[in-house]
Amino acid sequence: MGRDFSKPTAKETGDFGEQKAANYLRRRGYWIKERNFRAGKYEIDLIAESLFSLLFVEVKTRNYKSKDLSDPVAPSRAVDEEKIRFVKRAAAQYLRRHPTWKKWRMDIIEIWMTENKVFRIRRIKDVKETY
């Protein structure tokens, strides 16, 4: 049995969500400095910059079935303490390589989809612990 090409893979859904998140940030005055920045085993989905701040962004995209929308679990629920630590460790590596005077923080951008269409984008600013 072959792959069902009518359903996107998890990677395709994630890549799509990252593109939507990047567009969302651009519309709010940020420019995208890096995508999928890696520092060893740590990764940051997006690094965005404005005049005064630097964002390390974890993007979580979920494609819900219509029947699941009565009580959906937020995409950000997949970001646990360990993931936050990993992003912050990658951020520390990035800052060592690219020192800046700008304030930095970690944000989560949730992409909510159904039937492969975005119906909600939500940004959670300044994540310090499990959301």
Per-residue pLDDT of 14-23, as tens digits, reads: 999 999 999 9
Strand pairing of 53-64 and 103-114? parallel
Mean pLDDT of the chain: 90
Q: How confident is the model at residue 86 (pLDDT cuts 50, 70, 90)?
A: very high
Domains in the chain, ordered, with CATH? 10-124 (3.40.1350.10)
Q: How confident is the model at residue 10 (pLDDT cuts 50, 70, 90)?
A: confident
Per-residue pLDDT of 101-117, as tens digits, reads: 999 999 999 999 988 88
Q: Is pLDDT larger for residue 60 or for residue 5?
A: 60
Give the strand order in the sheet containing 103-114. 31-39, 42-49, 53-64, 103-114, 117-124
Per-residue pLDDT of 32-70, as tens digits, reads: 999 999 999 999 999 999 999 999 999 999 988 776 666
Cβ–Cβ under 8 Å, residues 12 and 62: no
